[in-house]
């Protein structure tokens, strides 16, 4: 019945829905009351102060933003720059140390997370744009895959000071995230920015994905405790910081 209620007032209900209404007082009551809801707004006056003068005084031609998919790819440029910089400075020891299957799973999950952040940001920057992907469940799956693969396959023990390496990875993760965040802000500045908090938080997610991508690429330490205690800790700090920043700029 709820599906038919979505169309209340638009057209006659199908026979099966009408039959249901004759039998069910709860649905009938609701259906009858929803009919005249469009009249609600007609109680007020349809008068306005007119066009704000600033608009007509400030008329300049503007170029429309690129299509959504192009915009989403543009927003991934900071991630690519950060990755290139990370490999150039610190190498790709992590990539080389991992088995092929692990590599596909981990980098697949990170790339999906980054792509989702880019997609979300492009949707956020174009008001009223269509959203076909449920981002949160997809992002949750990517996170679970990453955590699961690390927990299952990263069991190597090392005779080195993991604490200092973890600290180094943590700080590098924050540096990469900060760089990505600033580049992301720069690229996204031409968007709509209607909800600043949401935009800042999505850029934070993009920065967190970027940090994890760089750390997973360069760090050859295949130890779950190290990854959770430094790589994912850096990601958590970045997400928390962007969330707080979102509250501030709202």
Partner 1 sequence: MSELSGEESISPLDDAPPVLEQLMRRYQEADRAAAESLMQALMPVLIRFFLSMPDGRLAADDLVQETLLRIHRARHTYRPGEPVLPWVYSIGRHVRVDHYRKLRRTVHHEEAVDPDILQARAISTQSEAEGSPDFDTLMNYLPESQREVLTMLKVLGMTVEEVARVTSSTTGAVKQKAHRAYDRLRSLLERPPAGPTAVGDES
Smallest gap from Cβ 68 to partner 1, in A, equals 8
| Number of shown-chain residues binding partner 1 (CB under 8 A) | 61
Closer CB to partner 1, 2 or 164, in the complex:
2
What whole-number distance in Å separates Cα of residue 245 and Cα of residue 239?
10
What whole-number distance in Å separates Cα of residue 200 and Cα of residue 240?
11
Residue 40 C-beta-side C-alpha neighbours within 13 Å: 5
CB atoms within 10 A of CB 138: 15
**DSSP-assigned beta bridge partners for residue 155:** 223
**DSSP-assigned beta bridge partners for residue 132:** none
Site for partner 1 in 179-198 (CB under 8 A): 190-192, 194-195
**65 binds partner 1, rule: CB under 8 A:** yes
Site for partner 1 in 113-132 (CB under 8 A): 123-132
Give one DSSP letter per residue of 163-214, joined into a string: HHHHHHHHHHHHHHHHHHHHHHHHHHTTS--SSHHHHHHHHHHHHHHHHHHH
The window from 65-73, 97-105, 145-153, 224-232 that contacts partner 1 (CB under 8 A) reads 65-73
Closer CB to partner 1, 60 or 88, in the complex:
60
Site for partner 1 in 21-50 (CB under 8 A): 23-27, 29-30, 33-34, 37-38, 40-41, 43-44, 46-50
What whole-number distance in Å separates Cα of residue 199 and Cα of residue 83?
22
**248 binds partner 1, rule: CB under 8 A:** no
Contacting positions for partner 1 (CB under 8 A): 1-2, 5-6, 8-10, 20, 23-27, 29-30, 33-34, 37-38, 40-41, 43-44, 46-52, 54-56, 58-65, 67-68, 123-134, 190-192, 194-195, 250
């Amino acid at each position: 019945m709820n599906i038919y209620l979505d169309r209340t007032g638009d057209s006659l209900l199908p026979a099966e829905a009408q039959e249901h209404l004759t039998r069910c007082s709860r649905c009938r009551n609701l259906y009858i009351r929803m009919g005249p809801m469009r009249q609600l707004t007609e109680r007020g006056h349809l008068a306005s102060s007119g066009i704000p003068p600033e608009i007509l005084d400030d008329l300049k031609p503007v170029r429309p933003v690129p299509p959504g998919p192009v915009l989403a790819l543009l927003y991934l440029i900071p991630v690519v720059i950060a990755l290139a910089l990370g490999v150039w400075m610190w190498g790709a020891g992590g990539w080389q140390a991992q088995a092929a299957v692990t590599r596909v799973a981990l980098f697949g999950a990170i790339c999906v997370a980054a792509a989702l952040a880019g997609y979300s940001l492009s949707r956020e920057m174009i008001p009223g744009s269509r959203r076909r992907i449920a981002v949160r469940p997809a992002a949750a799956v990517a996170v679970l895959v990453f955590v699961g693969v690390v927990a299952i396959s990263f069991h190597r023990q090392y005779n080195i000071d993991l604490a200092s390496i973890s600290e180094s990875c943590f700080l590098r993760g924050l540096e990469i995230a900060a760089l990505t965040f600033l580049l992301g802000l720069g690229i996204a500045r031409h968007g709509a920015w209607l909800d600043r908090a949401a935009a800042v938080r999505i850029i934070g997610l993009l920065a967190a994905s970027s940090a994890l991508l760089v750390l997973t690429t360069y760090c050859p330490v295949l130890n779950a405790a190290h990854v959770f205690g430094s790589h994912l800790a850096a990601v958590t700090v970045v997400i928390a910081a962007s969330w707080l920043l979102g509250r501030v700029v709202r």
